[in-house]
Amino acid sequence: MKDLHTLGVAELGRALDAGQVSSTEVTKHLLARVASHEHLGAFLCTDTDLALEQAAAADARIAAGERSPLLGVPLAHKDIFVTEGLPTTAGSRMLAGYRSPFDATVVRQLGDAGMVTLGKLNCDEFAMGSGNENSAFAPVKNPWDTSRVPGGSSGGSAAAVAARLVPAATGTDTGGSIRQPASFTGITGIKPTYGRVSRYGMIAFASSLDQAGPMARSAEDCALLLDAMSGFDPRDSTSAEQARPAFAKALAAPRDGATAGQPLKGLRIGLPAEFFPAALAADVNGAVRAALAELEKLGATLVDVSLPRTELSIPVYYIIAPAEASSNLSRFDGVRYGHRARQYTDLIDMYKKTRAEGFGDEVKRRIMIGTYVLSHGYYDAYYLQAQKLRRMIADDFQACFQQCDLIAGPVAPTVAWKLGEKSADPVATYLADIFTLPASLAGLPGMSLPAGQGESGMPVGLQLIGNYFQEGALLHAAHAFQQATDWHARTPTGY
């Protein structure tokens, strides 16, 4: 038996199934590993008793003959999902010490599938950020180079999977927070179609954009988790009434027209010219182009397409997301949740002091921007214009999908940057979201898969974007790529 932390979700599931290892053994092994890698800052909390209790329950289900691919496999949740048994902070001092009376739907679904929760993972405060430096507790370090960021906002999830502390984690993606940290840490992550996965119990940042998804080592592992996470939830009014899919099973099914060695024959992959600007870092461009050549070898055809409003997705997103955030965050008033200022003179003073103390700088910046663009006199000039452009960006994608089945490009313009490098300049980090924001604004599914290595050996991700509810096609192409390459299997030195 290989070292237990080297096993991915599918491999672990098979080992548990065959009785080669128990969930309790795996859980103990990984908890010890989490404890010896605290310097990464990936975990905000663990609960040994709770994890071992869940592992024992999984072992009992296995002993009783139950067979299910996730049964007994450990994972950890981004601390933006509320959990009944563990604290939930959303990376904010505002929620320090908060405990939810219920589990998020995603947490419940994965728990029902038999997964064991090791703990909660660090993230940017209320998922606002691209480097995980906006966490109120600690920045997360990239296991490939601890002087660099792991990406954000699901940076704890990405670092934990990359460092082999856990085979899989949940993440959320509002404007790239699953795809970009996956790219920065050499793991695989998928942001499903808006509405595919329930948002119930996921602390809201920008409700028209927020979507949960899995982060793991491979497309196969992501498919296994997504199978359990997807499905209609009557508790989420934007949940799509789609039948629960069977993504994992479909991975190996051949495409129509596929031949031996050309599993992707007939697949048309669109390359938007705007995703390959002159400013794209040479190492990222090189790795992405090499991955595209590999996809061609596997039978795919590359076609040139255009997403003419790609650059505009930055101002559009940074108007709409803060607008929604300013509304969503109004609930943190010192009365209902978490932090309350100790000293105040009256109710208004209590609100002011609580929010001044509880929120960090980036969150305050977003609340101010959001309040401004929604205010009388500016609404038409900013918010309404942004909404119109959002529609046009979505339409641009539909024009592309007339010519291709999937769209491909880089996830981010550079590899992971150094800790502190961009913290003084929020706009510089906003600009780096250019390639993930368009799919978010359109509500389309997108994924990041390890495609190569760039400067200083840092991972580079390839982004694939599909049409609505085409996660199966994304995962299928990514799986074919991963069967032919080993980028997803590489680990940072020492892990």
Active-site positions read 78, 153, 177
Query: Mask: binding to ligand GLN, 265-304, rule CB under 6 A, as x and -?
Result: ----------------------------------------
**Inter-residue contact 325 to 128 (CB < 8 Å):** yes
Measured from the CB atom, the residue of 119 and 155 that comes closer to ligand GLN is 155
Place of tokens 């090499």: 290
Kindly indicate which of the ranges 125-133, 262-270, 330-338, 345-353 contains the residues binding ligand GLN, using the contact rule CB under 6 A.
Answer: 125-133
Measured from the CB atom, the residue of 171 and 466 that comes closer to ligand GLN is 171
Measured from the CB atom, the residue of 8 and 443 that comes closer to ligand GLN is 443
State yes or no: residue 113 binds ligand GLN (CB under 6 A).
no
User: What is the rounded distance in angstroms from the CA atom of residue 295 to the CA atom of residue 309?
Assistant: 26
State yes or no: residue 433 binds ligand GLN (CB under 6 A).
yes
Closest residue by Cα to residue 116 from 51, 177, 32: 51
Q: Residue 96 is which amino acid?
A: A
Query: Mask: binding to ligand GLN, 202-241, rule CB under 6 A, as x and -?
Result: ---x------------------------------------
Number of Cβ within 10 Å of residue 311's Cβ equals: 15
User: What is the rounded distance in angstroms from the CA atom of residue 251 to the CA atom of residue 249?
Assistant: 6
CB of 113 to ligand GLN, least distance (A): 25
State yes or no: residue 128 binds ligand GLN (CB under 6 A).
yes
Closest residue by Cα to residue 406 from 252, 255, 300, 299: 300
Spell out the residues 6+ positions from residue 1 whose beta carbon is closer than 8 angstroms to its own.
Answer: 15, 20, 21
Kindly indicate which of the ranges 13-21, 85-93, 173-181, 465-473 contains the residues binding ligand GLN, using the contact rule CB under 6 A.
Answer: 173-181
Q: Residue 81 is which amino acid?
A: F
State yes or no: residue 169 binds ligand GLN (CB under 6 A).
no
Among 44, 116, 121, 127, binds ligand GLN (CB under 6 A): 127
**Inter-residue contact 439 to 411 (CB < 8 Å):** no
Q: Is the bond into 177 cis (omega within 30 degrees of 0)?
A: no
Kindly indicate which of the ranges 122-130, 237-245, 333-341, 346-354 contains the residues binding ligand GLN, using the contact rule CB under 6 A.
Answer: 122-130
Among 23, 92, 109, 153, binds ligand GLN (CB under 6 A): 153
User: What is the rounded distance in angstroms from the CA atom of residue 433 to the CA atom of residue 412?
Assistant: 7
State yes or no: residue 446 binds ligand GLN (CB under 6 A).
no
CB of 214 to ligand GLN, least distance (A): 15
Measured from the CB atom, the residue of 127 and 288 that comes closer to ligand GLN is 127
State yes or no: residue 445 binds ligand GLN (CB under 6 A).
no
**Inter-residue contact 150 to 140 (CB < 8 Å):** yes
Kindly indicate which of the ranges 7-15, 42-50, 127-135, 374-382 contains the residues binding ligand GLN, using the contact rule CB under 6 A.
Answer: 127-135
**Inter-residue contact 118 to 156 (CB < 8 Å):** no
In sign, the C-alpha dihedral spanning 250, 212, 415, 279 is positive
Among 175, 410, 445, 461, binds ligand GLN (CB under 6 A): 175
State yes or no: residue 177 binds ligand GLN (CB under 6 A).
yes
Spell out the residues 6+ positions from residue 63 whose beta carbon is closer than 8 angstroms to its own.
Answer: none
Six token digits for residue 485: 């390459």
Number of Cβ within 10 Å of residue 403's Cβ equals: 13
State yes or no: residue 125 binds ligand GLN (CB under 6 A).
no
Give me the residues that bind ligand GLN (CB under 6 A), please.
127-130, 153, 173-177, 205, 321, 433
